[in-house]
């Protein structure tokens, strides 16, 4: 909790506001006492942005006469008292902070101070100084201009809340903005609270860089047989074998077979029933995404074989009821998003690609058949998921 009287005056920022008064502080901040533990950069007009500060000590600290600045030489001074209680957090927030604009996870967030002027640019550094002494600083950067990388807060991992650790880039990670997403409760933004487990939201992703995602020793004939078998089941996950190989270097012959599979099955996906959280929207998006990546990463001969499929795939986002803008971002953006977006996708991919001699993947088509889930097993998984989801909503 914070106590005291606060008003801000700004240099390069038009920021003036006042909150109520109370007791004066007990301690003036010294180096390392207050550190930056989370921030949300300004990723678009009207989007929420915030800066979280944490008192690492066992005594209340007064931030009066302190100054926050960034590497773009914007700064503001705290002219009166802000009391940050021991081990507590304060959040200075700006831009779009209303329930309609904020994502689900943040509608109930408690922002301590709010202004329409304070700005955190997409990259740079933030520093806090008090009485002319540097208290803390950190640098950050939003790496890729894609939906996949936007709407992420930049958060310090638990156990690293000290001035030394928050200077280490490896101790920071992106979080998602929507609580109860497919990643569970561990990776959502938490302004004003202790951070959850800090893991990479997209641990296997690569942007415009094919080398990190290449897989050695793929048996293309066997892998395409896996794809044919999955399509024959007419599921909302049937496109995943092609999605799994979307970032690989393929020959024109393989590209031609994939183009045939695309036109033979893309319309079928619209009529598939949901499987757990995946439905036809997800399937159409991922199949079109696969064609787009294979085309854009291919040479002239590969592009020739995929040309018609690609021209069709880039129009598919507008047919979706969900994921439209994210699909556009992945299929038509100049940035080619490669790699497995999350751990479940990474693990599923290993069950669909045949790469003899590579122990991470299937060794043969027969191994795929041995491990293939029957319609009864798939139905049971979906029923159990539906029941679990129902009770989680009412509890």
Tens of pLDDT, residues 63-110: 888 888 888 777 777 777 788 999 999 887 765 554 444 444 454 455
Task: Find the Cα–Cα–Cα–Cα dihedral 88, 93, 99, 100, rounded to 10°.
Answer: -150
Give the global pTM.
0.62
Q: What is the pLDDT of residues 242-252, one digit of tens each?
A: 999 999 999 99
Q: What are the tens digits of pLDDT across the range 187-212?
A: 466 778 887 666 555 567 788 889 98
Ramachandran quadrant class, 87 (left: phi over 0; alpha: psi -120 to 50; beta: rest):
left
> How far, in Å, CA of 199 to CA of 129, rounded?
30
In whole angstroms, give the CA distance from residue 33 to residue 86.
Answer: 10
CA–CA distance, 242 with 286 (Å, rounded to integer) = 9
Q: Which CATH class is domain 2-174?
A: mainly beta
As a whole number of Å, the end-to-end CA separation of the chain is 29
> What residues does each domain of the chain span?
2-174, 206-391
């Amino acid at each position: 909790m914070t106590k005291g009287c606060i008003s801000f005056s700004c240099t390069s920022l038009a920021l003036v506001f006042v909150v109520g008064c109370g007791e004066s502080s007990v301690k003036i901040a010294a180096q390392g006492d207050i550190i930056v533990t989370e921030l949300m950069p300004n990723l678009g007009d009207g989007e929420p942005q915030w800066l979280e500060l944490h008192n690492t000590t066992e005594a209340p600290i007064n931030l009066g006469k302190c100054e926050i600045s960034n590497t773009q030489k914007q700064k503001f001074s705290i002219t009166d008292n802000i009391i940050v209680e021991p081990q507590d957090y304060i959040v200075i927030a700006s831009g779009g902070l209303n329930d309609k604009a904020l994502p689900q996870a943040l509608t109930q967030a408690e922002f301590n101070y709010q202004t329409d002027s304070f700005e955190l640019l997409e990259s740079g550094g933030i520093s806090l100084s008090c009485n002319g002494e540097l208290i803390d600083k950190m640098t950050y950067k939003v790496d890729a201009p894609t939906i996949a990388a936007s709407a992420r807060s930049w958060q310090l991992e638990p156990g690293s809340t000290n001035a030394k650790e928050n200077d280490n880039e490896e101790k920071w990670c992106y979080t998602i903005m929507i609580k109860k997403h497919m990643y569970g409760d561990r990776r959502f933004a938490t302004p004003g609270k202790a951070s959850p487990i800090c893991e990479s939201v997209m641990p296997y992703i690569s942007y415009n860089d094919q080398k990190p995602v290449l897989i050695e020793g793929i048996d293309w004939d066997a892998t395409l047989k896996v794809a044919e078998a999955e399509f024959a089941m007419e599921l909302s996950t049937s496109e995943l074998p092609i999605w799994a190989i979307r970032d690989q270097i393929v020959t024109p012959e393989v590209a031609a077979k994939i183009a045939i599979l695309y036109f033979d099955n893309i319309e079928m996906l619209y009529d598939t029933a949901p499987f757990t959280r995946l439905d036809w929207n997800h399937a159409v998006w991922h199949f079109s995404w696969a064609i787009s990546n294979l085309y854009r990463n291919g040479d002239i001969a590969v592009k020739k074989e995929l040309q018609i499929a690609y021209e069709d795939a880039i129009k598919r986002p507008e047919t979706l009821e969900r994921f439209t803008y994210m699909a556009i971002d992945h299929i038509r953006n100049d940035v080619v998003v490669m790699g497995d977006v999350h751990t479940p996708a990474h693990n599923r991919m290993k069950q669909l690609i045949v790469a003899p001699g590579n122990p991470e993947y299937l060794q043969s088509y027969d191994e795929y058949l041995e491990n293939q889930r029957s319609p009864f097993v798939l139905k049971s998984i979906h029923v159990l998921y539906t029941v679990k989801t129902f009770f989680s909503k009412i509890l």
